[in-house]
Structure 1
Amino acid sequence: MTQTSEPFAAQRFREQPTPGRPRLHRAWFVAAVTFVTIIGAAAFASLPGLLIDPLHDEFHWSRGMIGLAVSVNLALYGLTAPFAAALMDRFGIRRVVAVALTVISVGSVLTVWMTTAWQLVLYWGVLVGMGSGSMALAFAATVTNRWFVARRGLVTGVLTAASASGQLVFLPVLSWLVVHHGWRPAAVTVALAALAVVPLVWLLLRDHPADVGQSAYGAPEFVPKPPPLTGAARRTVGVLARAARTGPFWLLAGTFAICGASTNGLVKTHFVPAAHDHGMPVTAAASLLAVIGVFDVVGTIASGWFTDRFEPRRLLAVYYALRGISLLFLPMLLAPSVHPPMVLFIVFYGLDWVATVPPTIALCREHYGEDSAIVFGWVLASHQVGAAVVAYVGGVVRDVFGSYDVIWYASGAMCAAAALMALVLSPRATGTASPADTPAA
């Protein structure tokens, strides 16, 4: 890996304290509130894999049908993200996030009274999907871009890890509720967790450093708050049109689609039922997913630290190659009980779970400048479309073949392709203008 010493030296210069500057910058408080908010919202992401077998048993819906609802959720999660980033520029972070959490809560609690499959698609797929999309990683990218100049890679890693921390907190609790009290109390718990975060967001989160009379952390000078940007939808589509004319966008979107397919779409959705097929208790399988969350926190924060120091595209290539290797071994490791090789897989896979996010955001920032949060929103959309496809296909594969083995092997091969795509990415030449920075004709 090539160490980027000159930018890092400039970063250290920007971080030197200035007279009158608070010892702990307000940006760190905003990052902390964002971290807690993402943890609270992460409860909904922990539940789909726990619902497949209970809904199949109670309503006799096929796993493919349940997977369809999850895939709609994942797709809307991604497709909403870039518009949410633009809406945050128009209406502010606080308003968008508070509304999103409320929509998540409503959609989750309505599932308690559903009786048909289309209601699952509407409540969990559409409402929770759109709400969660507004709370997607584009939210973390927006906060990082506004409040930080220095330490962006580290902060991105920490905020990305917040989702894994939420999984760690909620998965064991939700699996216990599903096993001992049914899936409905678990859905209500998700609704309450999302709603409980709304007052925290409204009271403590701020949209811009200028709101509290400060510059961004590590910025050389104070920057006034820009006026609200109108035409959020038009701007979002315009940024996509400009970025889509560039090669790096398609490489980033392609690698991130495979990232989503091999994590949210496959492991998060189908690991628990796959382990249960081999005789493992649901609570044990859910606990293994929670342990993935533990090591995900470590891996993602470390990835942010690495991203501040090493070439992001090479980091991506390493991450995808290691993930593909681990998925190829998983079918041989599933068993009725937890054994040391399975624990090794959980640790190894957990370290790599979303380690891809900090270097991907860094590459978006490198190539697309001020539009990077919206570009990353579109790249995240491809992540969720990939996840949505595999969430559905995984259920169909299980219905047709009676096991998930085919989808594990296919995902391992796709990760190998993503590693090669990452290496094709070329660093942006210093001093050149990004296509996304140039107004469309």
Structure 2
Amino acid sequence: MSKRRWYGLTLFIGFLVLLISASVRALPATFVLPWQQSFNWSRGAESAVIAIGTLLFGLIGPFSAAFLQRYGARKVGSVALLILVIVTAILPFMHQLWQAALLVGLLSGTMTGMIADVFGIYIANNWFKKNHGLVLGLFTASSSVGQLVVLPIFTTLIAHHGWRYTALVVAGGVFLVWLANLLLMRDYPQQVGLPILGKTQLTTPSYPALDLRSVLMQPLQALRLALKSKVFWLLALPFFVCGASTSGLIGVHFIAAGHDYGLNAIHSANILAVMGVFDICGSLLAGWLTEKIDSRLILAVTYGLRGIALFLLPLAFHQGGLVLILYAILFGLSWNATVSPTIKLISANFGLHRSGILFGWVFVGHQIGGALMAYISGAVHDSVHSYVMAFFMAGFMCLIATLLVIVVPQPDLKK
């Protein structure tokens, strides 16, 4: 294999790892209705299980960044993926709610978090100086595919073969990605005799050989410093809203909400797939624009667009057809478009070498928002049998986020 093909191969393997991580994380949303039918669990109880996984998915991020720096993408990715193979293969044999909490909440949430956005940041920082923002946008797009575009596949499999068979199919997909990461992933281009793309010299990043205790303490030390910074809070609070409005509300409850308006699961999943297609477009556009214009402007437009879409959602469900497609386009464009400009602002304010761990902590806010909204939306539905209140709540939060990101300091766009 030509040495220069390693850039494309590493990009492809990273894309696959992020895609399968997002797919496993999104899988429980397609199981909400089947689990109700199989086990008679309430939506509130199921939402609590999914919320546990959502929260742990975010909390593990900063520690994942530290482990990646210490052990590399090949080792960390291979361990996490192997555990996910086992978890998804065992899932069809569960029967109790506590088993779902263990498998979907604790294990799946933690392991998918180990190979989430910080995994992509690690690869982008170590392999790509040229087109760095576009690479981050591509990795964000892979999460979009995993979160949304594959959902019609899941729902179709569930409709024809049941949720247990679907879990086994996903386990097979995770196994193939684990094998690819184990055999083909490299931590640095210098390992195959190449410089970082965009540079000419072979310089391997030097990270201190930390012991396990030091690796675990590194994210906590970074957090202690970040909490004193106004910039960190101005980025973390909007990302809290990002998680609440996407992974917590729409990611978990959209298919169930569609059922309330007479849409079957496959139809709702197809709408999510439309969101996913435009999410890919929005992610790539945002990644490219971070190298061209002020990232604060990108974030303000993104959150504002999302807020408008959420206010339109009850009407879109009632009207269906083109109105629902319009909602899917608006919301899809904004879904993951927040990631690249947020990473850019973190790098500009705190330095590229800190961007992985600090984005991990900002992402914790994202997942706290997602976990709270996933549970609150399910509990509200159990009480009033409607998601309208949750849609409007998330819409107002997005408008507040629009105001917050405008005042984020951005000292050096080229840093």
- Alignment TM-score > 0.5, same fold: yes
Cα deviation, residue 352, structure 1 = 1.1
1:165 equivalenced with 2:145 (yes/no): yes
Cα deviation, residue 338, structure 1 = 4.2
Task: Report the AA paired with residue 261 of structure 2.
Answer: H
Paired with 2:397 and 2:148, the residues of 1 have a C-alpha distance of: 27
- Please list, as runs of the form range in 1=range in 2, the aligned pairs for 1:7-18 lying within 5 A after superposition: none
Paired residue for 1:387, among 370, 374, 398? 370
Task: Report the AA paired with residue 84 of structure 1.
Answer: S
Q: Does the CA contact (< 8 Å) of 1:89 and 1:229 recur in 2?
A: no
Which secondary structure does the structure 2 equivalent of 1:263 belong to? helix
Paired with 2:129 and 2:22, the residues of 1 have a C-alpha distance of: 27
TM-superposition CA deviations, 1:263-294 (whole Å, max 9, x none): 01011100000011111111100111111111
Q: Does the CA contact (< 8 Å) of 1:364 and 1:376 recur in 2?
A: yes
1:331 equivalenced with 2:318 (yes/no): no
- Please list, as runs of the form range in 1=range in 2, the aligned pairs for 1:61-72 lying within 5 A after superposition: 61-72=41-52
TM-superposition CA deviations, 1:176-219 (whole Å, max 9, x none): 12222221112222222112101110121110122122221113
Task: Report the AA paired with residue 109 of structure 1.
Answer: A
- Please list, as runs of the form range in 1=range in 2, the aligned pairs for 1:311-322 lying within 5 A after superposition: 311-322=294-305
Gaps of 5+ in 2: none
Paired with 2:209 and 2:273, the residues of 1 have a C-alpha distance of: 40
Instruction: Calculate percent identity across the aligned residue pairs.
Output: 36
Paired with 1:258 and 1:180, the residues of 2 have a C-alpha distance of: 36
Cα deviation, residue 41, structure 1 = 2.9
Inter-CA distance 168–420: structure 2 relative to 1 (3 Å threshold): closer
Paired residue for 1:357, among 339, 345, 360? 339
Residues matched between the structures, number? 410
1:299 aligned residue: 282
Cα deviation, residue 25, structure 1 = 6.3
Task: Report the AA paired with residue 321 of structure 2.
Answer: H
Q: Does the CA contact (< 8 Å) of 1:257 and 1:383 recur in 2?
A: yes
Paired with 2:193 and 2:231, the residues of 1 have a C-alpha distance of: 37
Cα deviation, residue 343, structure 1 = 0.8
Task: Report the AA paired with residue 356 of structure 2.
Answer: A
TM-superposition CA deviations, 1:280-326 (whole Å, max 9, x none): 11110011111111111111101111111011111101100110011
1:109 equivalenced with 2:89 (yes/no): yes
Q: Does the CA contact (< 8 Å) of 1:256 and 1:383 recur in 2?
A: yes
Paired residue for 2:232, among 249, 257, 263? 249
Paired with 2:30 and 2:146, the residues of 1 have a C-alpha distance of: 15
2:163 aligned residue: 183
Paired residue for 1:99, among 79, 92, 97? 79
- Please list, as runs of the form range in 1=range in 2, the aligned pairs for 1:194-343 lying within 5 A after superposition: 194-219=174-199, 221-227=201-207, 229-230=209-210, 231-335=214-318, 338-343=320-325
Cα deviation, residue 408, structure 1 = 0.1
Q: Does the CA contact (< 8 Å) of 1:43 and 1:194 recur in 2?
A: no
Paired with 1:229 and 1:85, the residues of 2 have a C-alpha distance of: 15
Paired with 1:193 and 1:374, the residues of 2 have a C-alpha distance of: 29
1:34 equivalenced with 2:17 (yes/no): no
Q: Does the CA contact (< 8 Å) of 2:53 and 2:110 recur in 1?
A: yes
Paired with 1:73 and 1:49, the residues of 2 have a C-alpha distance of: 12
Which secondary structure does the structure 1 equivalent of 2:60 belong to? helix
Task: Report the AA paired with residue 347 of structure 1.
Answer: I
Cα deviation, residue 50, structure 1 = 1.3
Cα deviation, residue 42, structure 1 = 2.9
TM-superposition CA deviations, 1:38-85 (whole Å, max 9, x none): 223332133222111111222121111100110011100001111011
Inter-CA distance 69–27: structure 2 relative to 1 (3 Å threshold): same
Paired residue for 1:51, among 31, 54, 68? 31
1:425 equivalenced with 2:405 (yes/no): no
Cα deviation, residue 392, structure 1 = 0.6
1:346 equivalenced with 2:328 (yes/no): yes
1:435 aligned residue: none
Task: Report the AA paired with residue 379 of structure 2.
Answer: V
Gaps of 5+ in 1: 1-21, 433-441
The TM-score with structure 2 as length reference comes to 0.95
Identify which range, 395-404 or 229-238, moves more after superposition: 229-238
Structure 1 moving runs of 4+ over 6 Å:
none
1:140 aligned residue: 120
TM-superposition CA deviations, 1:19-51 (whole Å, max 9, x none): xxx895633331122112222333213322211
Task: Report the AA paired with residue 239 of structure 1.
Answer: A
Q: Does the CA contact (< 8 Å) of 1:146 and 1:208 recur in 2?
A: yes
TM-superposition CA deviations, 1:216-242 (whole Å, max 9, x none): 111353313425541211111111111
Inter-CA distance 136–328: structure 2 relative to 1 (3 Å threshold): same
Inter-CA distance 23–112: structure 2 relative to 1 (3 Å threshold): closer
TM-superposition CA deviations, 1:115-143 (whole Å, max 9, x none): 21111111100010011000110111111
Q: Does the CA contact (< 8 Å) of 1:158 and 1:301 recur in 2?
A: yes
Q: Does the CA contact (< 8 Å) of 2:149 and 2:277 recur in 1?
A: no
Identify which range, 165-174 or 176-185, moves more after superposition: 165-174
Paired with 2:265 and 2:344, the residues of 1 have a C-alpha distance of: 38
Paired with 2:256 and 2:322, the residues of 1 have a C-alpha distance of: 20
Paired with 1:339 and 1:430, the residues of 2 have a C-alpha distance of: 42
